[in-house]
Amino acid sequence: MTLMHVPVVDVAPFSGGSGAAARRVVERVGEACRDIGFLVIAGHGIDPALVERVDRTARAFFDLPLDEKLRVARPAPDVTRGYIALEGEAVAASRGEVTPGDLNESLMIGPVDVPADDPYFTTPAAGKHFHPNLWPERPADLRPAWTAYFRAMGDLAATIMRIFAAALDLPQDFFDDKVNRHISRLRARNYPEQIEPPRPGQLRAGAHADYGSLTILKAEANPGGLEVCNRAGEWVQVPIMEGTFVVNIGELMGRWTNDRWPATLHRVANPPRAQALGSRRQSIVFFHNPNYDAEIRCIPSCADPGRPPRYPVTTSGEHLRRQFVRTQAY
């Protein structure tokens, strides 16, 4: 039976060994990736106090005056760092759709451990993927909290990629050397309460698929939340549960698997007008992206004579740069 709603999976047994419980985690994760592309994970081992620090510092940043937030404004469309103001991005453009700018503002950082003396991180091939982070002066705890969280999310993502490899009948370490210098982003999004009605076609975040390998999301259950388009073409809500994360696969995983695991469309809906006041919502999102030079080609087991590779070979860095630039509402 094809899953039509987002399942909840306790992933803790996977790290405990290779027994039946660990195999069941792999099976359930693989089923979710194949059928709906989303799951909610419990048993992830991330310190709740760290999650709360990141959430609190993000909220404090968004409460600052606009002119102060703009001091760390994103400097260019191909630089995934800094602040993007309300309506400064339209993520549906990644699919070629023309919509008004999305009703959210955001702050994002990239890798926090970049060796100054390693040419891998500075060669022209690296492009802007290791651009220095733009840290706001306030709140003071934002930089240390986000740095610790970025590292913790990178470790969790590496574990999830090992679960993915097992679910695809690959060696568990198949993706290890493709994500050991990942170009991921940590991004907080603030969805303000909607005092004025949205413009036609305008959402908190338009329908899109994420671009990288996987996404790890901490969200709030306020009105106007995350919705996923299932295989029947229905928009269904993602359950938001205390102490869990939402995980979904991105376009690069879809390319690796020849759409055996397709990147699923999702959006952030507007709150009903009757609940628009007081509907502020915040999300903390870790977009896990493989090394910029990781070759993205169809995994051999995901193709056969009746299903040849659908996508040309690309690299993680090139695909991500192209999608970043397309979505900016400049």
pLDDT digits (tens, 9 = 90+) for 148-193: 999 999 999 999 999 999 999 999 999 999 999 999 999 999 999 9
Lowest mean pLDDT among 108-122, 222-236, 315-329: 315-329
Residue 164: closest CA among 227, 247, 284, 46: 247
Burial zone of 115 (CB within 10 Å; 0-12 exposed, 13-18 middle, 19+ buried): exposed
Least confident of 79-88, 255-264, 317-326: 317-326
Share of the chain above pLDDT 90, in %: 88
**Dist CA 108 CA 88 (whole Å):** 14
Percent of the chain residues past pLDDT 70, beyond the cut: 98
Helix (H, G, I), strand (E, B), or coil: what is residue 318?
A: helix
Q: What is the 3-state secondary structure (H, E, C) of 136-156?
A: CCCCCCHHHHHHHHHHHHHHH
Structurally, at CATH architecture level, domain 8-326 sits in Sandwich (2.60)
pLDDT at 329 over 60: no
Overall size of the chain counted in residues: 330
User: CB-side exposure of 146: number of CA atoms within 13 Å?
Assistant: 29
Average pLDDT of the segment spanning 4-12: 93
Q: Determine the straight-line distance between the first and last CA of the chain, rounded to whole angstroms.
A: 44
C-alpha of 131 from chain center: 19
122 contacts 130 by C-beta, under 8 angstroms: yes
Reading the block at residue 38, the tokens are 């989303």
User: CA 174, 176, 182 angle in degrees (round to 5)?
Assistant: 135
- Rg of the chain taking only CA atoms, in angstroms: 19
Residues 229 and 237: their CA atoms lie apart, in Å, by 9
Judge whether residue 39 has pLDDT over 50.
yes
Strand order in the sheet with 214-218: 8-10, 38-42, 245-249, 214-218, 281-288, 185-191, 105-109, 82-84
Residue 330 has a pLDDT of 45
pLDDT at 48: 98
- Averaged pLDDT score across all residues of the chain: 94
Q: Kindly report the number of other CB atoms within 10 A of residue 117's CB atom.
A: 6
Mean pLDDT of 236-252: 95
Beta strand 205-208 pairing with 295-296 = unpaired
The distance of Cα 16 from the centroid of its chain, to the nearest Å, equals 26
107-119: per-residue pLDDT in tens?
999 999 999 899 9
Residue 280 main-chain phi, psi, to 5 deg: -50, 140
Distance, in Å, from the CA atom of 258 to the CA atom of 300, rounded to the nearest integer, reads 9
pLDDT at 1 over 60: no
Q: What is the pLDDT of residue 152?
A: 98
SS (H, E, C) 23-70: HHHHHHHHHHHHHCCEEEEECCCCCHHHHHHHHHHHHHHHCCCHHHHH
Look at residue 328 and tell me whether its pLDDT is greater than 80.
Answer: no
Residue 85 has pLDDT above 70, yes or no: yes
